[in-house]
Amino acid sequence: MAAAIVLAAMMSVILPQSVAATGAVPAKGKVVLLIVDRVAVGEFPGEETPFCARLARDWSIGLMSTRTGESNGGYDTGAGYVSLGAGIRARGDADSRLCFNSWESFTGYAGNPTAADFYEEYSGEVAPESGVVCLGWQEVKRRNEEDDKDKNVGLLGKLLAESGLEVAVVGNTDTGGRVSRLAPLVCCDPAGAVPMGDVSDRTVVFEPGWTGGYRTRIDRLLEESARLLTGADMLVVQTGDTGRLYSEEGNTDEEFLEAERREALRGVDRVARELCEMLDLESSLLVILSPEPTSSGRKEGNYLTPCVVAGGVFGTGMLSSMSTRTPGIVSNSDFLPTVLEFYGIEVPVEVSGAAMSAEEAEGALEYLRKLDSQLVVTRKARWPVLIIYVAIGLLTLILAALCTPVLRSKVGWPRRPERLARFLAPMCVVLLAAPLSFIAVSAFSYGGYVFPMIFCCAFSVAVGLGAWLMARGRPTLDPVVSICLLTGGVIVVDLVMGGGLLMLPLFGVSTLEGMRFFGLTNTIAGLLIAVSIWAAAGLAGGKTPTSRAGRWTLMIALPVVSLVVGLGVLGANIGGFITAIVTVLLFLMVTSKRGLTGWRIALVGLITAAGTALVILVDTLFFRTHAGRAIIAGSGGFLPMIERKVSIQIDEINFFLVPSLILLFTVVAAALWIRRPRSLGTELWKNDRPRSAALFALLFGGIIAVVFNDTGIAMLAAMMVVTTLALAYYVTSAVRPFQLPAAIDPFEAAATPAG
């Protein structure tokens, strides 16, 4: 009996200690971010990570857009990590990887100073004794000052600290040649420090046979994670090995690197499994993600990486957020709001992301893999299709121009323009239907550029010739109007249905286009503006719509198009709205009885400014859910949001100011030239004012597009494609056989008195 009592007493002491050491008692109310560097959804989660794959199927998975504030085609070290903790697309710096434990010392300096010594010297702050400091933090903040984003840098760490929550970080991606410790950038405070953590080489082991020379000590990493979880509310864990392999992939045999990569992923799976055992997922949150894309993904313009979220209120399905409004797609700026919402902390207005949530869906992982692969294929197929389209379009436009009397009299060809025009007129309509085919092809999955090329050709010919044949013998039925109405209708209906066709259209110019994943891209916005204006001009029947009903129809329908561009069902495009409203107002005023007077030009500016303010207000209230909280907080939170949006527009004006002014002067000069007495422009203005107004409004609208949009060239290109093809059709369809004057009797002419 005495022995039993002693044994029971010993077990009462030993058992709790062993349970705590092994993590058998799950931690509650924690957020753990597990970082798996440079992986794509095609490989993670996969065969090497069965536990992570089970998490993805039992909980939630999505594709995370890892776009940052870096320049297109460039790379900022650590930008993906900084963006996670900033809640916006931020920038990094080459020195951002220089993070150290406070106690780590530096050889080669007098007195062997520690990282804390250097940190306190340049920041003026006291380094945490058991924490981590980033010695490149000031450079990171400086890189974000130019975009006024430096206030967001370190925002997550700041807000958690202000709420009395502790954060910690563990792990690194060091190699034999350099220090690389990026994980602290996610949870640093504004001074560049993390209260607790271990990013030293104690979590790695020197292994000469492994690429990079170092390898993660998984046992040590898990031991440190368990220790830090006892005092930290949020823990960032850097698995390390996949990042090391990425940094050395240019110097290693691909087959050997692939074998190491599979082994590294198996290590990640073990870390994820044991972290889950440490957590009570009913009250905690585990987020697994890759802050930055693979090198191949970056080259292909694919900035999507896998993101798995388990625990809390997340159920089985696909991740989504109000910042993307697309099931299965989230943004790196959504991570910060998700953590804050988990802890019940208000999200500041300067954050552009929104909290992630889960939508029920079966086969989410398989769907996202298919979407990811289709994204890459679409971008590869875009250029062969568009280059052929542009080449055919240019040839058609040149031939159409040669059919005009001015050029034909100078070139002397073609002798029978009416024969060429019979072919060119339907060809212009077919080409005008092509942009719609570039949108419609998104309804299909394909593995190369052969299918989309065949589909787009067949679709354009069928729709274009159908519209042209329907108009034959019916003067009131304009094929250009039919194509424009159909194109605009498909875009609007697809927006209402969720924008599935607009996610991956072939119609575009940028390799990064589509990464926005909400609202209308600038290319599609320009297309919608142009087809709406030309449809309105064609419906006017070549005359100014003088009837009250006709004018009211235009005055209602065209502003609605502007609102669709500005506040698409999927999101907002402020620059697109400015372009649309200016174009619409110019068209409406030019086609009115009074025309475009000086005070009306000023009125265009005033209405545009008022409309833009209204759209920004609606966007702030309804389209950015985090901004709705700013309204509750009063004007102190609401005004900075509007100020930020206006500053973005001003930045874009500065960037494109010079080319925009050149275009503006060119258009004004051309307008003055064609308005000479008895010129072609004057006759066109008198005989067909609606189409003249459409051309005038779209030319100036294109200038506004370049000014107010970061990819305004894409919007201008889309507007000009529709405009030139519409003009080419009207020119060729008006060509008639050349009639020689009647023969004159020379004797009769001689008998006629001169004069």
Per-residue pLDDT for 16 more than 60?
A: no
Between 323 and 270, name the one with better pLDDT: 270
pLDDT band at 22 (very low <50, low <70, confident <90, very high): very low
- Res 289: pLDDT: 97
Closest CA to 398 of 384, 385, 413, 388: 413
pLDDT tens across 640-667, in order?
555 555 555 555 555 556 665 666 666 5
Q: Are 306 and 349 in contact (CB under 8 A)?
A: no
- Res 744: pLDDT: 41
Between 676 and 450, name the one with better pLDDT: 450
Per-residue pLDDT for 398 more than 80?
A: yes
> Residues spanned by CATH 3.40.720 within the chain?
23-321
Longest alpha-carbon distance in the chain: 151
Measured CA to CA in angstroms, residue 519 lies from 354, 512, 608 at distances of 16, 15, 20
pLDDT band at 612 (very low <50, low <70, confident <90, very high): confident
DSSP assignment of 510-548 equals -TTTTTT-SS--HHHHHHHHHHHHHHHHHHTTTS---SH
H/E stretch holding 718 reads helix 712-733
Pairing of strands 357-359, 317-320: antiparallel
Per-residue pLDDT for 532 more than 80?
A: yes
- Res 738: pLDDT: 46
Pairing of strands 234-238, 167-170: parallel
535/577 Cα distance (integer angstroms): 19
**Arithmetic mean of pLDDT over the chain:** 82
Class of residue 547 by CB neighbours under 10 A (exposed 0-12, middle 13-18, buried 19+): exposed
Q: How many Cα atoms sit within 13 Å of 244 on the Cβ side?
A: 29
263/9 Cα distance (integer angstroms): 44
Between 545 and 18, name the one with better pLDDT: 545
The DSSP symbol for 549 reads: H
The DSSP symbol for 510 reads: -
Closest CA to 583 of 708, 738, 460: 708
625/21 Cα distance (integer angstroms): 42
Per-residue pLDDT for 160 more than 50?
A: yes
Annotation: CATH topology of 23-321 = Alkaline Phosphatase, subunit A (3.40.720)
List strand residue ranges (DSSP E) for 537-581, in order.
567-568, 571-572
Read off φ and ψ for residue 521, nearest 5 degrees: -65, 160
Q: Is the bond preceding residue 414 a cis peptide, omega within 30 degrees?
A: yes
Per-residue pLDDT for 32 more than 60?
A: yes
- Res 424: pLDDT: 93
pLDDT band at 563 (very low <50, low <70, confident <90, very high): confident
141/135 Cα distance (integer angstroms): 12
Contacts of 175 (CB under 8 A, 6+ apart): 212, 213, 214, 244, 247, 248
- Res 337: pLDDT: 94
- Res 431: pLDDT: 96
- Res 466: pLDDT: 95
- Res 672: pLDDT: 61
Q: Are 162 and 130 in contact (CB under 8 A)?
A: no
Per-residue pLDDT for 247 more than 80?
A: no
Q: Which of 484-488, 495-499, 621-625, 642-646 has the highest mean pLDDT?
A: 484-488
Q: Are 320 and 327 in contact (CB under 8 A)?
A: yes
- Res 242: pLDDT: 93
Per-residue pLDDT for 150 more than 90?
A: no
Q: Which bin fits 419, alpha (ψ -120 to 50), beta or left (φ > 0)? A: alpha
Mean of the pLDDT values across residues 36-51?
94
86/66 Cα distance (integer angstroms): 13
Length of the chain equals 755
pTM of the model: 0.80
703/183 Cα distance (integer angstroms): 44
Q: Which residues pair with 286 in a beta bridge?
A: 32, 310
Residues above pLDDT 70, as percent of the chain? 80
pLDDT band at 679 (very low <50, low <70, confident <90, very high): low
Per-residue pLDDT for 99 more than 80?
A: yes
Residue 260 token pair: 């190491």
